[in-house]
Structure 1
Amino acid sequence: MTNQPVHTKLGGGNDLEAAINRVISQAQRYLRIFDYNLSEGNYNSPDRFELLRNFLLLSRANRLDILLHDTDHLTRYCPRMIILLQQFSHAIRIHKISPEAKGIDDPFIIADESHYVHRFHYNNPRALLGLHDNPGTLKLSQRFAEIWDTSTPSTFATTLGL
């Protein structure tokens, strides 16, 4: 028996936070995050830290890929994300998008092949939660791969050159 796709419109705020947490908690193999700079979505909260940490502890094979327009917020204001990167450097990759992709402005998070939260614009909190939606997730995964292929590695677990 397969689960039927479930779509929920989100107005932002607490609904968006809960939906992102729900998608992270559904992940069994990989998470892909495309965002402007992780300033929205409370990625530095203790709860989000624990969810991501628990996901990465599920299996050494689990992966977290993050694509950002701007990485400054992450490196300056998200110490918990940096701790995760240091603890799970084998499992986390953070890339900065290419200048050609600067016009892509609809953040999303994908869990495996089935679940996602897709915001309509990074300046707008409205979003769509998709659960058990393989076709919708596949479209977002393909977009993520296209953007990833032109991006560059950005934030690392260690500081080189000291």
Structure 2
Amino acid sequence: MERQVFPFTTRGGFVEQLAACLPRAEHTLRLFDPDFAIWDLGGSATDAVLRRFLKAGGRLQLAAHDGRVLEREAPRFLRLVKDYGHAVEFRRTSQSLRQLTDSFCIADERHLVRRFHSDHFRGEAVFDGPADINTPLERFLTIWDESGAGMFANSTGL
């Protein structure tokens, strides 16, 4: 496949590109956002895509500063995590990383959707661009290594 780049500047553009990226993943999905508030991880379409991905043996890694939005507003996503807990891992960022404000999804180290700042919708999607993934992947791995296990602190045991 040939590298494709799609810039976006609106919430709809972000949602559209994320919806195009998630089903492309076969092995790994790595997600970082301060709180995942606008990702619609609890939506039925996203749930269906993530369930197919996880059922096929995919691994999902999420890192965030705060998981309360997902706890409150995404019961479907929490059920998915309960059903596929062996394939989903959460990390909560340490205090030293709380200044990070970007937001991104990396699928199979080939596809990327990123917002340059989590308070804005300006960003880009890159499909079939493994060279474009190097810096965001290094960033994610650094965030991952410097974050603690467990994102949620509720009775679900996540």
TM-score by length of 1: 0.91
Give runs of ≥4 in structure 1 deviating > 3 Å: 155-160
Q: Gaps spanning 5+ residues in structure 1: where?
A: none
Residue number in structure 2 paired with 1:81: 77
Which structure 2 residues correspond to residues 54-73 of structure 1 after superposition, within 5 A? 54-59=52-57, 62-73=58-69
Equivalent-residue separation in structure 2 for 1:68 and 1:155 (angstroms): 7
Residue number in structure 2 paired with 1:6: 4
CA deviations on 1:49-101 (whole Å, 9 max, x unpaired) are: 11111111122xx1000001111111121111111110001000011111111
Equivalent-residue separation in structure 1 for 2:149 and 2:79 (angstroms): 18
Which of 121, 125, 129 lines up with 1:129 in the alignment? 125
Deviation at 1:123, TM superposition (A): 0.5
Q: Gaps spanning 5+ residues in structure 2: where?
A: none
CA deviations on 1:97-153 (whole Å, 9 max, x unpaired) are: 111111111100000010010101111011100011111112111110001101011
**Does the 8 Å contact 2:66/2:151 carry over to 1?**
no
**Does the 8 Å contact 1:71/1:154 carry over to 2?**
no
Equivalent-residue separation in structure 1 for 2:134 and 2:87 (angstroms): 22
Deviation at 1:159, TM superposition (A): 4.0
**Does the 8 Å contact 1:31/1:64 carry over to 2?**
yes
Task: Tell me whether 27-36 or 12-21 shows the greater mean CA deviation.
Answer: 12-21
Deviation at 1:158, TM superposition (A): 6.7
Identical-pair percentage: 26
Which of 122, 135, 138 lines up with 1:139 in the alignment? 135
Equivalent-residue separation in structure 1 for 2:111 and 2:129 (angstroms): 6
**Does the 8 Å contact 1:9/1:126 carry over to 2?**
yes
Which secondary structure state, in structure 1, belongs to the residue aligned with residue 102 of structure 2?
Answer: coil
Residue number in structure 2 paired with 1:115: 111
Give the aligned residue type for 2:150: S
Aligned residues between the structures: 156
**Does the 8 Å contact 1:116/1:137 carry over to 2?**
yes
